[in-house]
């Protein structure tokens, strides 16, 4: 296994309070498939009213093509709880989002969709934003040590809950986490079925 959770290049979107409707606008939530959201990521900023790309938006600029790390602002992912927001980020190609804080539900949705929401201090966030303001900046993400390693060799510490770090390192969604405890779950259900069979019909027992 590689030392790094991810190695890629970063772009900056230094805007505070970016809500989930800005990440993936509501008109794209009507489908029944989980696919196709990458093209709609930041739609109102990426495209003009006629549908053509907005050349002033960071993701449309040639030096920021193929970035996989987003350096955001404060309170990223606020607003509604739509899981479509991390779907759109992941399908566009983002593996890591760096911010000084995240909305709680968005943070959890990122973890469950295998995106790292790396929280850094406001001063470190400003440094990272400046670093990739004009050109995509290479960053290595050491999840074990919770460090962002810059091309200069300098490091910036980030925080993520221990359980969430382990979930990402094990490449699990929340179902995968539950499956790690399958033996205990089966043991409980068998014991419960024997103790109160009227609550655990045979058709549901393991």
For 9-61, how does the pLDDT look when each residue is reduced to its tens digit (9 = 90+)? 999 999 999 999 999 999 999 877 888 999 999 999 999 999 999 999 999 99
Using pLDDT thresholds of 50, 70 and 90, give the confidence band for residue 150.
Answer: very high
pLDDT at residue 204 tops 50: no
What is the chain's alpha carbon radius of gyration, rounded to the nearest angstrom? 20
Bridge pairing between strands 6-12 and 69-71: parallel
pLDDT at residue 201 tops 70: no
pLDDT at residue 189 tops 60: yes
Tell which residue, 84, 82, 58, 87, has the closest CA to residue 70.
Answer: 58
The sign one gets for the Cα dihedral 184, 185, 188, 189 is: negative
Range(s) for CATH 3.20.19.10 in the chain? 6-160
Bridge pairing between strands 96-99 and 116-119: parallel
Using pLDDT thresholds of 50, 70 and 90, give the confidence band for residue 184.
Answer: low
For the stretch 91-146, pLDDT in tens is: 999 999 999 999 999 999 999 999 999 999 999 999 999 999 999 999 999 999 99
Which architecture characterizes domain 6-160 according to CATH?
Alpha-Beta Barrel (3.20)
Q: Give CA–CA dist 151/141, Å, rounded.
A: 12
> Tokens 């549901």 label which residue?
204
Residue 169, H or E segment: helix 162-169
């Amino acid at each position: 296994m590689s030392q790094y959770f991810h190695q890629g290049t970063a772009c900056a979107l230094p805007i505070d309070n970016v809500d989930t409707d800005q990440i993936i606008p509501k008109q794209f939530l009507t489908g029944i498939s989980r696919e196709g959201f990458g093209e709609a990521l930041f739609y109102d900023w990426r495209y003009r009213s006629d549908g053509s790309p907005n050349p002033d938006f960071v993701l449309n600029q040639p030096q920021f093509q193929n970035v996989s790390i987003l350096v955001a602002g404060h309170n990223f992912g606020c607003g509604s709880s739509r899981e479509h927001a991390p779907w759109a980020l992941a399908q566009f190609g983002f593996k890591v989002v760096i911010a000084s804080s995240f909305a709680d539900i968005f943070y959890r949705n990122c973890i469950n969709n295998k995106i790292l929401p790396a929280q850094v201090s406001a001063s470190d966030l400003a440094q990272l934003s400046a670093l990739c303001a004009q050109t995509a900046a290479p960053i290595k993400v050491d999840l074990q040590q919770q460090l962002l390693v810059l091309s200069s060799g300098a490091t910036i510490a980030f925080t993520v809950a221990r359980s969430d770090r382990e979930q990402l390192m094990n490449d699990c969604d929340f179902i995968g986490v539950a499956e790690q405890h399958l033996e205990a779950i089966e043991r409980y259900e068998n014991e419960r079925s024997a103790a109160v069979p009227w609550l655990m019909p045979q058709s549901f027992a393991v």
